[in-house]
Structure 1
Amino acid sequence: MAGGKKVKFSYSDTINVREGEELDKKTLLHYIRENLPNVPNGQLEIEQFGAGHSNLTYLLRVKSWEAVLRRPPLGPVAPKSHDMEREFRILTSLNPFYQTAPKAYHYSEDNTIVGSRFFIMERRKGIVIDTEFPNGVIYDNLLGQKISELMVDKLVELHQIDYTKTELLNISKPTGFMKRQVDGWIKRYELSKTDNIHGVDQLTKWMQENIPISPNPAIIHYDYKLNNAMFSEDFSEMVGLFDWEMTTVGDPLADLGVALAYWTQPDDPEQLKKGIGKPSVTTIGGFFSREQFLETYARKSGRDVSSIHFYLTFAYFKLAVICQQIYYRYYKGQTNDPRFAQLNQYTAILIHYALNSTKGM
């Protein structure tokens, strides 16, 4: 599939359900038949989307009918995080204006069905790319450029939506957004702290003293990265964008900073490229560099991005705190997922790069 030319290939975006994360099929099947239309008679098959480290996401299938269920992770979770009702409301409101967001079908507060609150949404089909391309995709630089351009275009498109016409108007507070974000994520770090990491105090002080004046607010995804996107088989369009739990109305440059923090490139240090696994495909030659991503966004959005070093610094710190919160759950024995055992080391790496980025891209 050089440059996105369509060929036949085998690809699956799901895995068998991980041990300890199973759902009660009988209870769930009865519930979805009672609450969702057009569910046929037949056995319920459940698979899991295995890429995420936060919310648990499952594929539900009854014959030809398919849907996706999302619920919080197992064990205690941080206050105000993993809010299933809020994410459901976001998708319900946003889909008519931004159809890359899947349709939301149903929200449930009944903890007896899957052990927590949950919602069910549309199943989108396509290709999700993370650390490698599926078999049958022949990579070339043209394909890397095409995917990079799509990522920028869909971010710009999201930021252009009039948020006052959506439900986000009622569940967001754009005024004072960046100060609340900086103070809030510092507090989250302190509440989940396990190790003494050199430079944290210097970093948090710098962020509090250098908050820029934000541009006009926009709808921000706030977890915008390649493996949250789904592409058509010929890579001509983005057919899905997922993980909307952090979405709000706020500073669009904060969203851009998060996207850049995730967007690793070939000349990055190995520790940053590998993170907690294999390097992203964006480290292959042909994908945009962070500088090219930034310049393309600036040109297409018309926004001034001269203060991006602050937003990139904050994005590295925010990602470090997310990793630390997950590691804290592992450290406290609230989860035994082996993927989380070394996350404290990655937290320290991200703190280091946050400090580095205070000096500019």
Structure 2
Amino acid sequence: MTELDFDQGVFSDWFSEQAGRSGDLQIEPMRGGGSCEMFVCTSSEERFVIRRAPLTAVSDTAHDVVREFKVIQALSGDGLRVPEVLVACDDDAVLGAPFYIMRYVDGEVIRRKLPDHYIAKPETQPAIGEELIDALVQLHAFDWRGTAMEDLSNPEQFLERQVKRWTTQLEGYRCRDLPGVDEVALWLEANRPPPGRLTVMHGDYKVDNAMYSRAVPPRIITLVDFEMTTVGDPLIDLAWCMIFWPEEGNLIAIAAPGSPGGMDAAHCQRPEELVNRYAINTGCSLENFQWYQAFAAWKLGIVLEGSFAKFLSGESKNPNHEFFGFLVDQLMVRAQRFAHQE
């Protein structure tokens, strides 16, 4: 998006009334974001980010930004690395779709390449993965019972519901053949591990959903994108964040060694090193981790297929959504690999 698709005057009046900020507002679309749309809003010397649901939703339950706002509120004030949120709105008359506003954070998001100052000091790069794991350990340690997270989640029989839920969601927008998706679903049902501990789980935990410090060594300032956050099985988060971590043969790795601006090969941890760091810091067993790795890739593929289907139908012009087709194919390859391991 290069131009605003809403009436800035209507929004300015709403923002002044709801957030108590008056005066001229400067609003610009932000790059990035594969699901919701983002805008940066400058008011006097304050900067905010508007996170808006897409104008055309993938499903009735997808992109519930008002719920996401409540999740972040519930997690605030306990030392967790979450954004500071201000206000949410479910009135489509303001921006065309529900949205919420959070304070702008000045940091680095690692996607295709590392920031230049990280590249210049490769010996500091192990902190990228260490911080990713340590922030996850911290999130999973949050005592969710008695908080709003209890009302925003449905933790009972969490694992038992997962395969059916995501298979049903896929059928709502299935528009092409996805090799392996049905076979993996059958394997997941047949090999589901027994229920484990329940924690807050981010739901889309990966390196580019964290904002890192501009200074080295890298430190996570805040996590972002709590759209799928709930109370559930924490090992799904752990498996999920390894999907894009560099390893041999991973074509969708973020900033992989050997790619332009990628991590230094001598300082990039193997996935099992980071997984073991989590296990040591939580005491969590990894006995059934293969199942979680297959499930995480399978589920993420189904989630992204929804946006790719919107692109194929012409409902979305987001270039990220076109690229999601390749990602989905690679995710299904990954899911099948873990499902077929002995």
Fold agreement, TM-score > 0.5: yes
Query: Is 1:292 matched with 2:254?
Result: no
SS of corresponding position for 1:230:
strand
After TM superposition, list the pairs within 5 Å mapping 1:170-209 onto structure 2. Answer: 170-209=151-190
SS of corresponding position for 2:252:
helix
Mean alpha-carbon deviation: is it higher for 344-353 or for 251-260? 344-353
2:136 aligned residue (115, 139, 155): 155
User: Given residue 250 of structure 1, which amino acid in structure 2 is its aligned partner?
Assistant: G
SS of corresponding position for 1:82:
coil
Residue 295 of structure 1, CA deviation: 0.7
Query: Is 1:326 matched with 2:301?
Result: no
2:192 aligned residue (204, 211, 221): 211
User: Given residue 36 of structure 1, which amino acid in structure 2 is its aligned partner?
Assistant: A
SS of corresponding position for 2:72:
helix
Contact 1:130 1:281 in 2 (8 A): no
CA–CA separation in structure 1 for the residues paired with 2:341 and 2:44: 53
CA–CA separation in structure 1 for the residues paired with 2:341 and 2:4: 42
CA gap of 1:132–1:344, structure 2 versus 1, over 3 A, is: closer
CA–CA separation in structure 1 for the residues paired with 2:262 and 2:269: 8
Contact 1:74 1:335 in 2 (8 A): no
**Gapped runs of 5+ residues in structure 2?**
none
Contact 1:40 1:65 in 2 (8 A): no
SS of corresponding position for 1:288:
coil
CA gap of 1:360–1:123, structure 2 versus 1, over 3 A, is: farther
**Cα RMSD for the two superposed structures:** 2.3
Correspondence for 1:243: 225
2:66 aligned residue (82, 85, 90): 85
Contact 2:112 2:254 in 1 (8 A): no
SS of corresponding position for 1:163:
coil
User: Given residue 126 of structure 2, which amino acid in structure 1 is its aligned partner?
Assistant: Q
Correspondence for 1:127: 108
Paired residues in the alignment total 338
SS of corresponding position for 2:51:
strand
CA–CA separation in structure 1 for the residues paired with 2:260 and 2:337: 21
TM-score by length of 2: 0.92
Query: Is 1:258 matched with 2:206?
Result: no
Contact 2:245 2:253 in 1 (8 A): no
After TM superposition, list the pairs within 5 Å mapping 1:1-361 onto structure 2. Answer: 18-19=1-2, 22-37=5-20, 39-41=21-23, 43-234=24-215, 235=217, 237-265=219-247, 267-269=248-250, 271-273=251-253, 284-285=264-265, 286-360=267-341
Residue 339 of structure 1, CA deviation: 3.4
CA–CA separation in structure 1 for the residues paired with 2:91 and 2:181: 40
Correspondence for 1:13: none
CA–CA separation in structure 1 for the residues paired with 2:116 and 2:309: 36
CA–CA separation in structure 2 for the residues paired with 1:323 and 1:189: 10
Mean alpha-carbon deviation: is it higher for 299-308 or for 96-105? 96-105
Residues 82-117 of structure 1: CA distance to partner in whole angstroms, max 9, x if unpaired?
A: 112211111111111244101221111221110011
CA–CA separation in structure 2 for the residues paired with 1:134 and 1:274: 13
CA–CA separation in structure 1 for the residues paired with 2:181 and 2:219: 40
Contact 1:59 1:69 in 2 (8 A): yes
CA–CA separation in structure 2 for the residues paired with 1:146 and 1:171: 33
Percent identity, aligned pairs only, is 26
CA–CA separation in structure 2 for the residues paired with 1:54 and 1:280: 26
Contact 2:244 2:252 in 1 (8 A): no
**Gapped runs of 5+ residues in structure 1?**
1-17
Correspondence for 1:4: none
CA–CA separation in structure 2 for the residues paired with 1:160 and 1:95: 14
